[in-house]
A and B are shown apart, each in its own frame.
Chain A
Amino acid sequence: MTTKKMAIIATKGTLDMAYPPYILASTAAALGYEVQIFFTFYGLQLLRKDLSDVMISPLANPAMPMPIPMPVFVQMLPGMESMATMMMKQKLKKHGVASLEELREMCLDMDVKFVACQMTVDLFEFDKSEFIDNVEYAGASAFFGFAGETDICLFV
Chain B
Amino acid sequence: MNFDKEFDASGMSCPLPIVKTKKALADMESGKVLKVIATDVGAVKDMQAFADQTGNALLASSEAGGKFIFFMKKK
Residues of A participating in the B interface, judged by any CB pair closer than 8 Å: 23, 26-27, 29-32, 95-98, 103, 106, 109-110
A98: min CB distance to chain B, Å: 5
Q: Which residues of B have CB within 8 Å of A97? A: 13-14, 16
Tell me the B2-41 residues at the A interface (CB within 8 Å): 11-16, 18-19, 21-23, 39-40
On whether the beta carbons of B19 and A27 are closer than 8 Å, the reply is: yes
Q: Select from chain B the residue with minimum beta-carbon distance to A109.
A: B23
What is B's interface to A at a CB cutoff of 8 Å? 11-16, 18-19, 21-23, 39-40, 50, 53-54
Q: What CA separation (Å) do A47 and B43 show in the bound complex?
A: 29
Contact B13 A96, beta carbon cutoff 8 Å: yes
Q: A31-B54, A96-B11 are in contact. Are A26 and B19 (CB under 8 A)?
A: yes
**Please, could you name 5 A-B residue pairs with CB atoms under 8 Å apart, sorted by A?**
A30-B18, A31-B50, A32-B53, A96-B12, A98-B13
Q: How far is the CB of A102 from chain B (nearest CB, A)?
A: 8
Distance, CA A30 to CA B22, complexed state (A) = 6
Please indicate the chain A residues that have their CB under 8 angstroms from the CB of B23 in the complex. 30, 109
